[in-house]
Structure 1
Amino acid sequence: WACWKTYVGRPKTCRPRVWAMTVLGNGLGEAEQDEDALVVQEAELSTKRRVGESEYNILVAQSNLAITYENLERLDEALRLKRDVYTGFLKLFGEEHEQTLRAVNNYATSLVRLERFGEAKSLLRKTVHMVRRVLGESDETTLRFRSSYAAALCQDDCATLGDLREAMTTLEDAGRIARRVLGGAHPTTTGIEDHLRVARAILRAREAPPTSG
Structure 2
Amino acid sequence: MILTQCAVCATELGLSLGKKCGRCSTRYCGPACQVQHWKEGGHDNLCKKIKKAGGAEQYNANTKYTEAVAVAAEACAEDTKGQTCYICTQAVHWKTKEGLVRGCACRGTAGFAHVSCLAEQAKILFAEAEENNLHVKVKQARWDRWGRCSLCEQDYHGVVACALGWACWKTYVGRPEVHNAHISAMGQLGNCLGAAKHHEAALSVKETELSILRRVGAREDRMLVAQTNLAITYQGLGRFEEASRMIGDVYSGYLRLEGVEHEDTLRAALNYAISLVKLKRFEEAKALLRKMMPVARRVLGASHDYTLRMRWNYAETLYKDAGASLAGLREAVSTLEETEQTARRVLGGAHPITGGIEKGLQKARAALRAHEEAASGDVSSICGAVEAMTPGDA
TM-score of the two chains, using structure 2 as the length reference: 0.49
Structure 2 match to 1:121:
286
CA distance in 1, matches of 2:198, 2:345: 34
CA deviation profile, 1:87-146 (whole Å, cap 9, x unmatched): 122112110111111111111011111111111111111122222122221222111111
Aligned pair 1:98/2:263, yes or no?
Answer: yes
CA deviation profile, 1:42-65 (whole Å, cap 9, x unmatched): 232122122111112111111111
CA distance in 2, matches of 1:174, 1:19: 32
- Aligned residue identity for 1:59: L
Structure 2 match to 1:85:
250
Aligned pair partner of 1:48 in 213, 220, 229: 213
Q: Are residues 198 and 23 of structure 1, via their aligned partners in 2, closer, same or farther at CA, if it must alter by over 3 Å?
A: closer
Aligned pair 1:6/2:171, yes or no?
Answer: no
Q: Are residues 16 and 205 of structure 1, via their aligned partners in 2, closer, same or farther at CA, if it must alter by over 3 Å?
A: closer
CA distance in 2, matches of 1:184, 1:35: 29
Aligned pair 1:190/2:355, yes or no?
Answer: yes
Deviates more, 1:20-29 or 1:55-64: 20-29
* 1:45-194 superposed matches below 5 A: 45-194=210-359
Identity of aligned residues (%): 53
Q: Secondary structure at the match of 1:6?
A: coil
Report how far residue 25 of structure 1 moved: 3.4
Aligned pair 1:210/2:377, yes or no?
Answer: yes
Q: Are residues 31 and 153 of structure 1, via their aligned partners in 2, closer, same or farther at CA, if it must alter by over 3 Å?
A: closer
Q: Are residues 129 and 29 of structure 1, via their aligned partners in 2, closer, same or farther at CA, if it must alter by over 3 Å?
A: closer
CA distance in 2, matches of 1:181, 1:30: 20
CA distance in 2, matches of 1:80, 1:120: 14
TM-score of the two chains, using structure 1 as the length reference: 0.87
Aligned pair 1:36/2:204, yes or no?
Answer: no
* 1:13-32 superposed matches below 5 A: 18-19=183-184, 21-26=186-191, 28-30=193-195, 32=197
CA contact (8 A) 2:173 2:182 kept: no
Q: Secondary structure at the match of 2:238?
A: coil
CA distance in 2, matches of 1:24, 1:138: 27
Superposition RMSD on alpha carbons, in Å?
2.2
* Unaligned stretches of 5+ residues in structure 2: 1-56, 59-169, 380-394
Q: Are residues 168 and 96 of structure 1, via their aligned partners in 2, closer, same or farther at CA, if it must alter by over 3 Å?
A: same
- Of structures 1 and 2, the one with the larger relative CO (CA 8 A, separation 6+) is 1
* Unaligned stretches of 5+ residues in structure 1: none
CA contact (8 A) 2:210 2:227 kept: yes
Q: Are residues 190 and 24 of structure 1, via their aligned partners in 2, closer, same or farther at CA, if it must alter by over 3 Å?
A: closer
Poorly superposed stretches of 4+, deviation over 2 Å? 1-7, 12-37
